[in-house]
Amino acid sequence: MNLARITRRLAGLWLVVVLACLVHNAWHWGVQRRAPVTDLLAMLPTDEQRPLATQATQALADAGSRRISVLIGGGDWAQAQAAADAFLQALGDVPARHRVADADQQTWLDLYTPVRQGLLSAEARARLTAAPTAALADQALAALYQPVAGPRVGRWADDPLNLFGLWLSERGQGSRVRVQDGRLMLTDATAPQRHYALVLIELPGSGFEIGAARALLPRIETATRAAQAAGATVLQAGVPLFAAAASDQAEREIHTIGLGSLLGIVALTLLAFRSLRPRLLVTLSMAVGLLVATSVTLLWFGELHLVTLVFGVSLLGVAENYGTNYFSARQGLAAAERWTMLARQIPIVSLAMATTVIGYGLLALPPFPGLRQVAVFSGAGLVAAFVTVLWWFPLMDGQGRMAPTRFADWLGSRRALWPSLGRRGLTLLGLAALVLVAAGAARLRVDDDIRQLQSAPPALIEQQREFARLMQAPGVAQFFVVQGATEQELLEREEALTARLRGLGLGVQAVSDWLPSLRRQHEDQALVARRLAELRPELEKRLEQTLEPGSSANANADARPAGLTPWAWLASPASEPLRAQWLGRLGAGPATAVLLRGAESRETREALAALRLDGVTWVDKVGEVSGLLGRYRALMSVVLVAGFALTWAALAWRFGRRAWRALAPTALASVLAVALLALSGQVLQLFHILPLLILLGLGVDYGIFMLEQPDRRATQPFLSVTLAAASTLLSFGLLALSGTPALRAFGLTLLFGVFLAWLFTPFFMPDHD
Amino acid sequence: MKRRGLLIAPVLAPVLAPLTGLLSGSLPGLAAAAPADLAQAVRERLRQPEWLRGEFTQTKKVTGFAKPLLSRGDFVLARGRGVLWRTVKPFASELRLTRDEIRATQGGQTAMRLEAAREPVVRVINSLMFSLLNGDVSGLGELFELDGAVKGAGWQLALTPKPGALRQVLRKVDLEGDSFVRRIQLFEANGDESLIELANLRPDVAPEPGLFQ
């Protein structure tokens, strides 16, 4: 009776706390409209975080995230154009870019022609520096006499060496896209008879907001079929396509896996308790856990990371055990008997809870803010769910006698099927496990590369790959950030960097190629003026006539124009293609991103990461995130081992020398789960190790519940454990069917682990007969 | 995602255009043929051997120059392979147009190189060059409106570029010949004029197979 009164008091108090958390959550998400932090690198130790890298990556990603690019063709140019027309017609009023007007082309020349004296291609600079005047004259005259010369702007006499034309050609090398018949055209480098028309579709909003993309995708699909009907190959690429594919997949899985899991769990509850109330209350306990966990984490850290939410919610799944155990124990008892039952169960469930919280608490030890958040979140959530079961369930579980169902009786009595394995039996089991573990160890592979987690449909990836091959565009996953105190210092540093990179044989896309530093422009101007002054008499001698110098050449040589400034460049529409690489102010000064082609191999990336130049930072998002996953995986493994040790200590405190019987089944299940994963060909990474921590929490609970009543005739503990395990398998285990690699890894580990832990636990119980 | 470089393209169009002006309007198969009888008459008079050798004299009038620019040399024309244009006077230089590239060399050193894989316009330039030297009427008919006359063994063609980018570069081309093309006169839009006279034309019986590799 005493317990009943205390429980009522505490239940009221707990209600106040839960309501406060509810208000806090509503305030944070609803009123302040805050969103979870999503940057993965925020999970790194603070001293290793590089806001520079994060901001630069963000700026670059934003620029391309709303664009879908489509290549149409694959045959001759006439066919490509006809197919593109069919595509555009089917696309209707969706804004798409595919033409280039003469006026657009003129803006380029308007920007660069007045400053052409200071623009030199690398080759021309080298030639002007080293070549004798006679050789320069040969070259200039050959171009004059030959029927076909290099691309040239303006008159020969203004620029006899065609320096401006060479500079523009060098710029053109940066892209494979050309303008033909006023259209954007791409030609396959390895099969020059194959041509494609390029169509760019810019979506409103961000690429990660899939709403806009969703609305347009069916129309792009229709247009694609129209182009295919015209005999063309169609290649689509762009972030919105991947975002839409991912959300499609998630939706499909919610419909299949999610619904299957829900139906299974409801059916199980109905069978076992002939009532939905237990299921509703167990769900309530977990919801309260989530709510309180969110509030505590927000109050503690001031923010909530998306990863915390995802991992934390999974870790909270262990709370399932407490509610299920309550109802298994309550079954067959009259309402009044619940208090004696509760008094008996409190120490058991408390121990189960404590062992799990200990394991999760260990996550807070490494200096990773991400893990600390996860530890606080899941710890707080577990305690809250536990408290809800203890203080609320007795007041909400109905007044009648919960009659035992035939199914529950039958299920509980299956306990008798498990013999208690003696010393010999356990040794045999251990040996069999050892063989499996050895086989698994032989095939164990570990790879933390984030790209392992790529889950887009293969057809989409294939299109993206072919698109990238045709375009030969630089990557944005790895790049350099260059900083300077002033814009000119920045550009000079960038020039030093690009010279080094080109020396390594890499393709480079950099702002300073289009906007050289003023120092370089002035040096080039001086070089050109000097060599032209030497060249002119030589040319006149050979041509046997005086040259009438061009007006522009004359004016530029004398007046030495100021050159192209960042301000003028940024203001011109001509800078649009590279403007995303002009990052603006980052930290103390302006910054740019230098993009690379051909830097995919690991060796190259390592060599680039080792490059040390003033103001230059290597950013390798893929590498950093992969490294982060690897470090988390290693840390998790250590935490796991420590978790087992501490759990053993906690168990020993209650069970004494029998403690190993509660722990060993889970330990065995964990090791075997890893062996089975390895044998089934899974490449291990963080998402295989993380669920082992959950398995520790879950499996030890099974051990505790059963070790409290180890008798083979006791049906209640086995019923409780079996129901809990079945629910876990139906919720987490079904994730093994997911198409998302991280979820699949998670689900598969728990599928093996939970099943094995449930299977082994009764074997390890002592024999009372 | 990663196609920031593509708008570099517009800049190249006006630059490459003066090369030949062939950035547009050159759709094979779409152009109407020249007046059938004229084209047929010219075709009947022409010999178009697989390999043709000859000598040229080029007189170029360029704005900014008081005197015309005179050059001489020889050339090799190989059907389906390319054109070799070898200037001997006033100094030696070579221009080689093949399926895959245009390459200018001086004293064995490359002075300029355009690859078809990078600049698709290279193929169009090469086919124009070949058609002009070979008198390929159907090839020319795709790019130009043809007018002209036939007189005995000789013929004359006046070529006016069809609407499109070619017109921004080339005003008119006059072509004259008999069993071979003898005279090509180019009138550029900027006022420059070139007269190319071909002489000593002979089908080659012993071609150099490696010439256009």
Mean pLDDT of A76-97: 89
Instruction: Give the separation between CA A287 and CA A361, rounded to whole angstroms.
Output: 21
**Over 80: is that where the pLDDT of B194 sits?**
yes
Compute φ and ψ for A147, nearest 5 degrees.
Answer: -70, -25
Chain-chain contact of B2 with A476 (C-beta, under 8 angstroms): yes
Distance (Å) from the alpha carbon of A310 to chain B's nearest alpha carbon: 27
Q: Is A336 helix (H, G, I), strand (E, B) or coil?
A: helix
Distance (Å) from the alpha carbon of B14 to chain A's nearest alpha carbon: 7
Q: Is A469 helix (H, G, I), strand (E, B) or coil?
A: helix
Compute φ and ψ for A300, nearest 5 degrees.
Answer: -75, -50
**Over 60: is that where the pLDDT of B12 sits?**
no
**Over 50: is that where the pLDDT of A17 sits?**
yes
Establish how many alpha carbons lie within 13 A of residue B198's alpha carbon, considering only the half-sphere containing its beta carbon: 25
Mean pLDDT of B108-115: 81
Q: What is the pLDDT of residue A238?
A: 85
The set of residues, in sequence order, having a beta carbon less than 8 Å from that of A735 and lying 6+ positions away, is A257, A743, A744, A746, A747, A748, A750
Instruction: Give the separation between CA A369 and CA A547, rounded to whole angstroms.
Output: 73
pLDDT band per the 50, 70, 90 thresholds, residue A591: very high
Mean pLDDT of A226-230: 91
pLDDT, tens digit, 9 for 90 and up, residues A524-545: 999 999 999 999 999 989 888 8
The set of residues, in sequence order, having a beta carbon less than 8 Å from that of A438 and lying 6+ positions away, is none
Beta bridge partners of B112: B104
Residue for token digits 């170029």? B60
Q: Is A103 helix (H, G, I), strand (E, B) or coil?
A: helix
Q: What is the pLDDT of residue A670?
A: 96
Helices assigned H by DSSP within A132-276: 133-145, 163-172, 210-229, 239-253, 259-273
Q: What is the pLDDT of residue B57?
A: 94
Chain-chain contact of B67 with A157 (C-beta, under 8 angstroms): no
Lowest mean pLDDT among A134-143, A185-194, A365-374, A753-762: A365-374
pTM as predicted: 0.74
The set of residues, in sequence order, having a beta carbon less than 8 Å from that of B21 and lying 6+ positions away, is B161, B165, B166, B167, B168, B169, B170
Distance (Å) from the alpha carbon of B181 to chain A's nearest alpha carbon: 16
Residues of B in contact with A71 (CB under 8 A): none
Where does residue B13 rank: exposed (0-12), middle (13-18), buried (19+ CB within 10 A)?
buried
Q: Does A509 touch chain B (CB under 8 A)?
A: yes
Contacting B residues, span 27-86, partner chain A, CB-CB under 8 Å: 27-30, 58, 60, 62-67, 69, 71, 85
pLDDT band per the 50, 70, 90 thresholds, residue B6: very low
Mean pLDDT of A628-632: 84
Instruction: Give the separation between CA B61 and CA A71, rounded to whole angstroms.
Output: 44
pLDDT band per the 50, 70, 90 thresholds, residue A607: confident
Distance (Å) from the alpha carbon of A486 to chain B's nearest alpha carbon: 25
Mean pLDDT of A746-758: 93
Q: What is the pLDDT of residue A39?
A: 65
Q: What is the pLDDT of residue B18?
A: 38
Distance (Å) from the alpha carbon of B152 to chain A's nearest alpha carbon: 31
A686-708 helix and A716-731 helix, angle to the nearest 10 degrees: 160
**Token code pair at residue B136:** 């390929």
With left for phi above 0 and alpha for psi between -120 and 50, is residue A238 left, alpha or beta? left
For B66, other C-beta atoms within 10 Å of its C-beta total 10
**In chain A, whose CA is at the least distance from the CA of B16?**
A151
Instruction: Give the separation between CA A691 and CA A620, rounded to whole angstroms.
Output: 28
Residues of A in contact with B190 (CB under 8 A): 155
**Over 90: is that where the pLDDT of B89 sits?**
no
**In chain A, whose CA is at the least distance from the CA of B90?**
A542
Distance (Å) from the alpha carbon of B48 to chain A's nearest alpha carbon: 22
Among residues of chain A, what percentage have pLDDT more than 70?
94
For A126, other C-beta atoms within 10 Å of its C-beta total 11
DSSP A580: T
Lowest mean pLDDT among A488-502, A506-520, A717-731: A717-731
Q: Of A306 and A159, which is predicted with more confidence?
A: A159
Mean pLDDT of A555-561: 50
Q: Does A105 touch chain B (CB under 8 A)?
A: yes
Instruction: Give the separation between CA A242 and CA A245, rounded to whole angstroms.
Output: 5
Chain-chain contact of A153 with B90 (C-beta, under 8 angstroms): no
Contacting B residues, span 82-121, partner chain A, CB-CB under 8 Å: 85, 87, 90-91, 93, 95, 97, 100, 102, 104, 106-107, 111-112, 114, 116-121
* C-beta separation of B8 from A175 below 8 A: yes
Q: What is the pLDDT of residue B117?
A: 75
* C-beta separation of A96 from A88 below 8 A: yes
Q: What is the pLDDT of residue A560?
A: 54
Instruction: Give the separation between CA A325 and CA A302, rounded to whole angstroms.
Output: 35
CA terminus-to-terminus distance, chain A: 36
SS (H, E, C) A489-535: HHHHHHHHHHHHHHHCCCEEECHHHHCCCHHHHHHHHHHHHHHHHHH
Instruction: Give the separation between CA B8 and CA A575, rounded to whole angstroms.
Output: 9
Chain-chain contact of B20 with A148 (C-beta, under 8 angstroms): yes
Mean pLDDT of A327-341: 87
pLDDT band per the 50, 70, 90 thresholds, residue A206: low
Closest alpha carbon to A464 in B8, B2, B117: B2
pLDDT band per the 50, 70, 90 thresholds, residue B23: very low
Q: What is the pLDDT of residue A83?
A: 94
Among residues of chain A, what percentage have pLDDT more than 90?
34
Q: Does B129 touch chain A (CB under 8 A)?
A: yes
Say if strands A475-483 and B69-78 run parallel, antiparallel, or are unpaired.
Answer: unpaired
Contacting A residues, span 227-266, partner chain B, CB-CB under 8 Å: 237-239
Q: Supply the mean pLDDT for chain B.
A: 77
Torsion of CA A587, A590, A596, A601, to 10 degrees: -20
**Token code pair at residue A13:** 């108090």
Where does residue A78 rank: exposed (0-12), middle (13-18), buried (19+ CB within 10 A)?
middle
Lowest mean pLDDT among A103-107, A267-271, A459-463, A527-531: A103-107
The DSSP line for B5-66 is GGGGHHHHHHHHHHHHS-SSS--TTTSPPS-HHHHHHHHHH----SEEEEEEEEEEE-TT-S
Contacting B residues, span 142-161, partner chain A, CB-CB under 8 Å: none
CA A314, A318, A323, A325 dihedral sign is positive
Instruction: Give the separation between CA A566 and CA A196, rounded to whole angstroms.
Output: 34
**Over 80: is that where the pLDDT of B87 sits?**
yes
Residue for token digits 């609305």? A215
Q: What is the pLDDT of residue B8?
A: 38
Q: What is the pLDDT of residue A498?
A: 94
Q: Does A568 touch chain B (CB under 8 A)?
A: no
The set of residues, in sequence order, having a beta carbon less than 8 Å from that of B213 and lying 6+ positions away, is none
**Over 80: is that where the pLDDT of A102 sits?**
no
Per mean pLDDT, which of A241-245, A327-331, A334-338, A433-437 is the most reliable? A433-437
Lowest mean pLDDT among A668-672, B39-43, B107-111: B107-111
CA A527, A530, A534, A537 dihedral sign is positive
Q: Supply the mean pLDDT for chain A.
A: 86
